Every structure is written in C-alpha cells, then in structure tokens.
Chains A and B, each alone.
Chain A
C-alpha cells in the first residue's frame, strides 16, 4: 500500500518537476529510499517502528501519531492520515522551496558568469587604456624635449641674428663713413675743377735747382734698354734665389740637428732598453748592432738620405719602434712592481708570464729587425745605383790615405828641395859676387904690390916683408872678407871630403867659374907654398874662396 501511494506521489512529483533535473535526482533518490523504507517495518517491529515514526513526526513539529497509552497498538488512523497529509504538504513545500532555490541558484550563477565576463572585459579595457596612457605620456615627453631643443635653436638663431645685425650695422657705419668721405672729396674735386676752369692762369709745376747733384752711388744713369730690363730681372731673381738659398740652408741645418737629436734619442732608448732584463740581452745586442750599422750607414750616406724619402721614414719608424719598446718595457716594469707588491706568492707565475710576454716581444722585434734589414738592403742597392763610386771609395779608402800621406811627404820633400835650391843659388850668387870682389880686390892689391914693389925695388930685403905683408894681407883679406866668412864656415862644415891636393887648385883655376856654380865638393886648400907669385897666390886664394860651396 505505501508503495502505490508513493508511486502516485512520485508520479505527481514527476508531473510537477519534469523540467528540473534536480527533481529527477530527488525522484531517483526517493525511489531508492522507497526500497529502503520497504524493509523498515515488519510484523515483528511494529511498535518500535510506530514509536520511531512518532518520534520523527514530533521532531518535525507535527502532532503525534500514536499514543502509547491506550493499551493496544492501535493506530490512530485519522492522526496518521493527517500526519501523512502534513508530511506530504511539507514535502511539497520543500520541493517548492527547492525549486525556488534552484532557480535562484541558476540566476545567481548566470549573474556571476555575466559579472565575470564584464570583469574580464573591463580589465582588458583597463589594460588598453593604461597602455594608451603610457604611450601618450611618452609622446608628451618627446614633444617636450623637442620643444626644448627648438627653444635652444631659437635662442641660438636669435643670438646669431643679433650678431649678424651688429655686423651689418658696423659695416653699414663703415660704408656710410667711407661714402661721406668720398662725397666730400668729390665735392672738393668739383670745386677745384670749377676753380680751374674759371682761373685762367694756371701755375705749372716746376723745379728750380741750383745745380743738379750726382747720383747716390756715383755711377752714371743708364738708358732704359732691354739690357737694363734684363739686368733688373736678373738682379731680382738673384735676390730671390739668395733668399731661397739661405732659407734652404737654414732648414737643412735644422733638419740635420733634428736628425742628430733623433739619433741620440734612439741610442739612449736602446741603451735604456739594454739596461733592462738581462735575458733579452743578446737580442738587444743584436738589435743594437744592427742599429749601429744603420747609424753608420746613415751618416755615410747623408747626402743620399736627403733625397731618399725611405731613409727619413725609416728613421722615424725606428724611433717610433724604440719608443714603443721603451713604453712596453716601462709598462711591464710597472706591472711587475704592482704584482710583486700585491702578491708575493705569484712570483713564479708572474715571471713566467713576463717571460712569455718578453718572448713574444722579442719575436716581434726579430720581425721588425728583419724588415729593417730588408729595407737597408734595398737602400743599399738604391745608393749603389745612385752613386757608383761609393763602394770603390769605401774599399780603397785606406789606400787613398796612404797615397795622401805619400803625397804630403813628397810635397815636403819638394819644398825642402826648393829651399835647398834657393840656398844654393844664393850661395853661388854670393860666391860669384865674392869672386868678383876678390878679383877686383886682388887686382887692386896686385897693383898696390906692384907699386910697392916698384917703389921698394932698391930694397931687396923687403921681399920678406912683402911676404910677410903678403901673409898679413891674406889674413886681412880673410878678415876683410867677413861678408862671406859665415858662409864659408858653413861650407867648410858641410864639406864632404877634405882632400888636400896641390894639383887640383891648378885645375880648378881654369874651371873655377864652372865649378863654383855646381860646386858640391869643397876642398880645403892648404897653404903649402910660400907665395912669391902673387898671381898664383891670388889664384889659390880665389880658389880657396870659391871652392867651398
């Protein structure tokens, strides 16, 4: 019975709640409960079920269904039916509220959805508008920057314009001033022209000089011919060339000095680098020797160098190279110092690093030196082609020196010979003079003696005195001829051989004149015989005098 009622109820329910899925669920759950309830009450537990149900009903707020008192377990049918009816009403009411709640829930869920959608939409809108805002701010900033720059430009242009205006104003002032001046002069000119036209008597320019004066340089003036014109041109070009010459000389001197300074600098730098790490001493020596070679070559080819652009470039390049080396060396030293200061333990590493660095550097240097050698070779070739004498001169220079020495010696010898010749000439002349004088003197003496002799003829003893006189006059002659005594002494001292011979004087008297000229052999003539023969003595004497030269 309850099943059928319940079925009716459920069908009733289903008719009402066909549309709601929730109610279908309820319905299904009811159906399940239906089967549960069917096993709830049996014949054995009726009172228990009754009491239970009444409890439940009273819990729900409905009047009780069964009263315990009454002696029997008779069911109050009316109450039960009422109870059932109330329960059904309750159920209906619950279902209705359930439906309303479902509807409400649906509504609220849909509004929630809708709100979510609007929220997302608004968020998107917000993002967009934020982006737009930043974009606009950026543009505004850019525009402000532009405005500033334009303002600066404007200021500059205004300043420039003012400057230009002031320039224009000053130029205008200057022009006006000049124009006024020119106008004044023009007016003066007009007046003067008027005056001249009106004035009949015109004073002509004239010069009134007392007398013309000579030219300042004292020369006569020349006609204006083509020759004078050419002379003027020539003088002018001479003046210009002199100027260029002096300037060129000065510049060359300056250049030479500067080159010397550069060479010294280079040497100093090389020496400084040499004084550096000893490991690289060999390399440096090599480089030094090469550079020295270079220097030697440079100095010997100075004139060629001036024409040779490569040589100049080479010098400057080598200076730059040395400077770079020096710089790197100093930097290395600095780094070394700093490293040793900071960390003592990394010595070995540092030194290794420095070794490596140095090795690299040295390799570079080797490369550079090779290049240098190549360029030097090229230059050598160039110089060889330019000046062919250079190598032969270089090889024969020592021979030249000897030659020069020999030449000098020869020259001195020649000079000495000339001197000797001169002296000899002088001596011969003096000897000739002396011989003439002596001749004359002897002749006088002879005449005098003759005279004496003739006068003193009756006195035969007086020979001796004449002899003695002859001896004395000889000494007198000797002393008298003091003009040539020095020479004679000289000659005697220079005598190569003094072989007295009696025969020679005789021979010599004949060839006296000739021998006196050539005279190299001077002999001492001993006065052997007492001379009664004045002529002979004369001869002897003259011979004596004449021989030594």
Chain B
C-alpha cells in the first residue's frame, strides 16, 4: 500500500472523473485538475469566488463549479481550456447546482426551492421546473442517465415527475401517497423508483418506470420511521434503515420483507467475528521524546492500533440519545451494499463506533468492527468486497472477508482522515482531511490480518 504526498483542498471538494483518469480539487477559488496516476497538475482554473460545489460531467470533459453565495456557476472544459461558460442566476439565488446525466445540461435550484432552471450548454436554451420539493433527496437520475425523477409539492400534496433527460420532456407525473416525501431513488436497473416518507411516518412506496404503483411497505406506525434507504447493485434488495435500530430488507419480486437485521447491544449466539480495535502505544523513552519532539514529533506519538478478535458474548458501547432534540442520534443512518451485493455494511447511530457487516447470501451477521472512536465514513470498493472506513484519526481501516487491517497514514503534521472514497477502478483510495487530501494506492493482492 503506497501513500501519495498530501495536497491541499477546501470544503472536501475532491472528485475523480467518471472515466477515472483525472482528479479535480478545489483550493479556495481555484480548480486544480491532476492526472490520477502521476498526480501532475494538468489544468488550473480560477473561479470568481470560493467554490461551494464542484462536479464532473458524465463524459469527463467538463467540470462545474458553483458558488452559491454569488449565485454563479462556472463550467470549465478539459479539452479546450480557453472555453468558458458562466451562468448567473441573478437575484433569484442559488441553492444547489448539478449536472444532468447527459453532461450537457445544468440544473440549478433557486433559493427557497422556487424553481429548478435547466440550462442547456448545447443550445443555450432554458427550461423551468416548478414546485420542486425541498427534501433531502428530491432529485435522482437513473443509472443509464435516461430518466430523472423529481419530487414536487403542489397543493399540499407530494407528486413525482419523471423527465426524459434527452429533451427534458415531462414523461410521467403522478401523485404519491406520502405525508411528506423525504426522498426518492431509482433502482440500479432503472425500472423501479423507491419513494419514502419523512421520519414521522414509516412508508416506502414503489413505482414502476411507467408510473404504475407497484407496492407499499410500512413496518410500524407512530414511532420515528425511516432513516436511510439503499438499493443493492443487482436491484434485488431494498434495504431500509430506521430509527428503531433495525434494517429491513425487501425483495424485488414480491416487495415484502424477507428479513430484518437488528443491532443489539449484546452480541451473542452468532457465527460472526467481532474485530475490536486495540491501541498499543509503543514504548517511548524520554531521550527519544526530546530528540523527536523538535522534528516530526506527532508520528511517534501516533499510537499503533491493531484488530483483535473478541470472543462472544460482547457488549457494544451504546450512547443514549438526547431526549430533547429532534433527529435523535439513534437508528441506522448509513447503509451500503458491496458491488457484488454479497455484503452490506450498516452503522447504528447510537453505537457510532461500530460498523456491522452482514452477509446477504446467508442473511446473517458476518462481522462487527468495533473502533475506538466513532466512525465517520465507510465505503465499499467498487470492484471487490472490500470495505474502507475512517474514524477521524490518522488511520485507515480495511475489512475484507479474509480479515481486517488498520493502516497508519504516514504523513507529516497529523493528517486526520475525515472522509474517504474509492477510485472507480478500486485501485486507490482518496482520503480527505480537514484541509488536505492524500491518495492511497492499493496492492493488487488483498491484505489479510
């Protein structure tokens, strides 16, 4: 495993191009484009203000930089660095900006979600979409980029509009039976749209591509409901994580629950392995301290850690959430399937330092990773069943069915890994700190404990 040197970034704006060749980073108001393999700077663009959001177009030819405060969007071209494009939303404001799936249209959401303006870069034409809904996930593009689903709110009722991205033709428009639609997501095969309600009502509705209502699922009433939803990459399963610390799996044939995964405080009676992160401080003499303090310093004081397999039964440390606050820190907030749909990783918010890995073939718990500090971010390798996670310290943790490993990120100045994501080829990881980023190149053979 090789680590690159540390580069600067602001606002966690680091994106790899969809074809995997380039890496774009935002440093204050500059956009830096590097080659992924050599990390040489290929292009350098200057925007008019600090960039709030940056995104690659789907064909990896253009980069969008949005500055929400100024209401500006600038688009840069890699082929022709002289080409420029600036979209000014004017006094109507800008809250969100994103590419459409064809890479030639930009969708700008105005302030207060008054409308979504669709700017076309191929015809300079403008379209407007009225009544978009202000919800956590109101827009979703299907994987093949053909259709876009949008949540709308008209006459105090939720609607869903499906557009054909080709020519922004309104394809389907139907009302949903939700109280307060919180999000929607296409299945990876693009044939089913999952729509879910806010946490006050546990309800998931499934619609076919042609707008037909397929099925609804509701596990219980009254208690706080859905916290997170995730499709499996094969479109076979829909995983729903809720505030009652359970994950329910629906199958794509009958849309009924096939199993539910619970996150109990005491783990007992399973065949799962529990990996516990254990710190081990290297013995440091006073002489060494004085010598090294002046120099690198923090690397020595970085404690080594390794994983130990704990025998069952074991207690997972849980924190009771504050009863007076809304959106309590309890329930399953993060769900992710591995690329072959064989494993699923979940995180329960009141056991924030544990990541649970479930085996989807056998529908049981496979492993539990108990960390020392709370887990910030985890993501599956896009090619193989390998999970990378970080907990806000200077270590990178990897789990695979063969075992678990904790790797120290060898950088100067204490690089704390706040989030990470994989390169689309699964060959490297991009680690993001507060203001820094670092690349980690994997070896081709897997690392075992």
Determine whether the beta carbon of B223 is less than 8 Å from that of A212. Answer: no
**What chain B residues lie within 8 Å of A173 (beta carbons)?**
324-326
Q: How many residues of B contact A (CB 8 A)?
A: 53
Cα–Cα distance between A240 and B187 once the two chains are bound (Å)? 12
Interface centre among B121, B126, B324 (most CB of A within 10 A): B121
Residues 231-263 (chain A) with a chain B CB within 8 angstroms: 232, 235-237, 239-240, 243, 247
B122 touches A236 (CB 8 A): no
Task: Please report which residues of chain B, range 156-184, place their CB below 8 angstroms from some CB of chain A when the two chains form the complex.
Answer: 164, 166-167, 169, 171
Q: A221-B122, A232-B164, A232-B169 are in contact. Are A215 and B200 (CB under 8 A)?
A: no
- Greatest chain B CB density within 10 A among A202, A203, A239 is at A239
Partner of A209, one of B58, B103, B124, B164: B124
Are A212 and B122 also in contact (CB < 8 A) when A205-B117, A236-B171, A239-B209 are? yes
B 246-260 to A, binary, CB cutoff 8 A, 1 in contact else 0: 000000010000000
* B361 on interface, CB distance cutoff 8 Å: no
Flag if A213 contacts B121 (CB, 8 Å).
yes
> How many angstroms between the C-alpha atoms of A177 and B224 in the bound complex?
14
Verify A203–B200 contact, CB threshold 8 A.
Answer: no
A210 to B121, CA, bound (A): 10
Q: Which of A178, A212, A229 contacts B124 (CB under 8 A)?
A: A212
Closest Cβ neighbor of B110 among chain A residues: A205
Count of chain A to chain B residue pairs whose CB atoms are closer than 8 Å in the complex: 122
Beyond A176-B326, A189-B112, whether A203 also contacts B209 by CB under 8 A is no
Cross-chain contact of A199 among B82, B85, B87, B91 (Cβ < 8 A): B91
The answer to whether B124 and A196 touch across the interface, beta carbons within 8 angstroms, is no
Chain B residues with Cβ below 8 Å from A217 are: 102
Check B224–A239 contact: CB distance below 8 A.
no
- Complex contacts, A214 vs chain B, CB 8 Å: 122
B279 CB-CB contact with A under 8 Å: no
Nearest A-chain residue to B187, judged by Cβ: A243
**Any A CB within 8 A of the CB of B153:** no
- How many residues belonging to A are interface residues under a CB distance threshold of 8 Å? 46
Interface string of A219-237 (1 = CB under 8 A from B): 0011010001100100111
- Which single member of A169, A176, A240 contacts B209 (CB below 8 Å)? A240
Closest chain A residue to B74 by CB distance? A208
* Bound Cα distance A208, B89 (Å): 11
Q: Are B327 and A203 in contact (CB under 8 A)?
A: no
Q: Closest residue to A201 on the B side, CB-wise?
A: B91
Query: Could you mark each residue 185-215 of chain A with 1 if its beta carbon is under 8 Å from any beta carbon of chain B, else 0?
Result: 1001100100010010011111111111111
Q: Are B88 and A232 in contact (CB under 8 A)?
A: no
In the complex, A370 has a CB within 8 A of chain B: no
Selected from B89, B92, B171, B253, the residue in CB contact (under 8 A) with A232 is B171
Would you give the shortest CB distance from A307 to chain B, in whole angstroms? Answer: 20
Q: Is the CB of B199 within 8 A of A216?
A: no
Asked if A208 and B86 sit within 8 Å, CB to CB, the answer is yes
A162 within 8 A of B: no
CB distance from B182 to the nearest CB of A (A): 11
Q: Which residue on B lies nearest to A164, using beta carbons?
A: B222
- Interface residue A171 (Cβ < 8 Å from any Cβ of B): yes
Q: Could you tell me the distance between the alpha carbons of A177 and B253 in the complex, rounded to whole angstroms?
A: 38
Q: Any chain B CB within 8 A of the CB of A167? A: yes
Q: Inside 8 A of B191's CB, which chain A residues have their CB?
A: 239-240, 243
Bound Cα distance from A208 to B86, whole angstroms? 5
Asked whether A212 lies within 8 Å of B210 as measured between CB atoms, the reply is no
With a cutoff of 8 Å between Cβ atoms, the chain A residues found around residue B189 in the complex are 243
B contact residues around A448 at 8 Å (CB):
none
Closest to A229 in B: B169
The reply to whether the CB of B59 lies closer than 8 angstroms to some CB of chain A is: yes
In the bound complex, residues from chain A placing their C-beta under 8 Å from that of B208 are 240
Contact with A along B201-227 (1 / 0, CB 8 A): 000000011100000000000111000
In-complex Cβ contact of B104 among A208, A213, A222, A247 (8 A)? A213
A174 at the interface (CB under 8 A from B): yes
Provide the bound-state CA to CA distance between A367 and B438, in Å.
77
User: 1/0 per position for B311-331, CB-CB distance to A under 8 A?
Assistant: 000000000000111111000
Partner of A202, one of B82, B91, B164, B253: B91
Q: Within the complex, what minimum Cβ distance (angstroms) separates A201 from chain B?
A: 9
Q: Is the CB of B91 within 8 A of A208?
A: no
Where the two chains meet, the residues of A that have a C-beta atom closer than 8 Å to any C-beta of B are 164, 167, 169-171, 173-178, 185, 188-189, 192, 196, 199, 202-217, 221-222, 224, 228-229, 232, 235-237, 239-240, 243, 247
- Excluding A212-B122, A221-B167, 4 further A-B contacts by CB distance (< 8 Å) are A174-B224, A176-B326, A208-B86, A209-B121
Give me the 10 closest cross-chain CB pairs, A-B, nearest first: A177-B326, A203-B90, A205-B90, A243-B191, A209-B85, A173-B326, A208-B86, A203-B91, A205-B89, A216-B103
